[in-house]
Structure 1
Amino acid sequence: MNWYVLYTKPKWEKKVAERLIQMGVDCYCPVITKVKEWSDRKKKVEIPLFNSYVFVNLKDTDRNSVFQIAGVVRYLFWLGKPAIVRDEEINIIKKSLAATNISDISVTSIQVGDRIKLESGAFSNQDAIVQEVSNTHYILVLESLGCVLKIKYK
């Protein structure tokens, strides 16, 4: 069985996860607790870590069963195939959210102009500036080495 990523209607993540659990589907909707402030009060609310995403653990043959649930839009695709998340990645998310020493978490995508630190490969521990992001590659500028790095992904 694989973990697939379901794309939901905006603000429907927790409702979809509840209904999937009622249907007997193994799913995971990571949530974080934030303090929301209005003009007259403050309140702790649970919000999804990933907007409009719910992870489901299904056999490939059972993938269409989730479309019975209101709020499910489609599966997230990567290079023409349904995106699959490894068990280790789901476990990392769960462990990170369970850690008590984390005060704030946010999820953002890599944007042009971002400064990043490469964590693996031949250029590990090098600082880079994101010059281009596309469906097939990243182009990074490694100022300290005076070169441009193009990373293709499958």
Structure 2
Amino acid sequence: MQNLLNQHVDCFHPKILVEKVRSGKRTQRLEPLFAGYLFIKLKPGEQNWNKLRSTRGILRIVGFGNTPATIDQTVIDQINARLASVTTQGGLKSGQAVELDDGPFKGLNAIFQCYDGDERAVVLINFMQKHQRLKVPITSLTLAN
């Protein structure tokens, strides 16, 4: 991307904060939203695609035949807005619906309550007409549909 910036090409490489569990520790890091892709914006009337094709680090330009694909600016604005929303929300929030995808309660829906250390979470499941608190590994939770 730096090579494009050196040529004064307007680039957009959206990244998102991803939370993963590695070696039993919950870590966060920025990862590309669209791995291997970035968006560029050319100035009106500028169609020098050959300059871009020969830029170090660019494998190819996504397109149809010899015509590069175009994306409306409103789509880029929506991606930016949604990225900002995800960034402010962070990880799981109390009250969010989750699904257990591991262990004896696999497939059950639950309500996320809070994190319990680096590896576990407290959730509520509806069991025998009552809400029951469970401590489960964070890795066994996914957002419910």
Q: Which has the larger radius of gyration?
A: 2
Unaligned runs of 5+ residues in structure 2 are 93-145
Structure 2 residue 4 is matched with structure 1 residue 20: yes
Taking every aligned residue pair, what percent have the same amino acid on both sides?
28
Q: In 2 relative to 1, CA 91–24 (structure 1 residues): closer, same or farther, beyond 3 Å?
A: same
2:11–2:38 Cα contact (<8 Å) kept: yes
Letter in 2 for 1:53: Y
1:85/1:102 CA distance change after superposition, 3 Å: farther
Question: Judging changes above 3 Å, is the alpha-carbon distance between structure 1 residues 68 and 37 closer, same or farther for their aligned structure 2 residues?
Answer: farther
**TM-score normalised per structure 2:** 0.51
Aligned to 2:50: 64
Instruction: State how far apart, in whole Å, the 2-side matches of 1:35 and 1:101 are.
Output: 12
With structure 1 as the length reference, what TM-score do the two structures score?
A: 0.48
SS in 2 for 1:53: coil
Structure with greater contact order relative to length (CA < 8 Å, sep ≥ 6): 1
1:42 CA displacement: 4.2
Of residues 34, 37, 49, the one that matches 2:18 is: 34
1:51: which partner in 2? 35
> Separation in 2 of the partners of 1:94 and 1:50?
13
Match of 2:62, as an amino acid?
L
Q: Is the 8 A contact 2:19 2:91 kept in 1?
A: no
In structure 1, the gaps of 5 or more residues are 1-16, 105-154
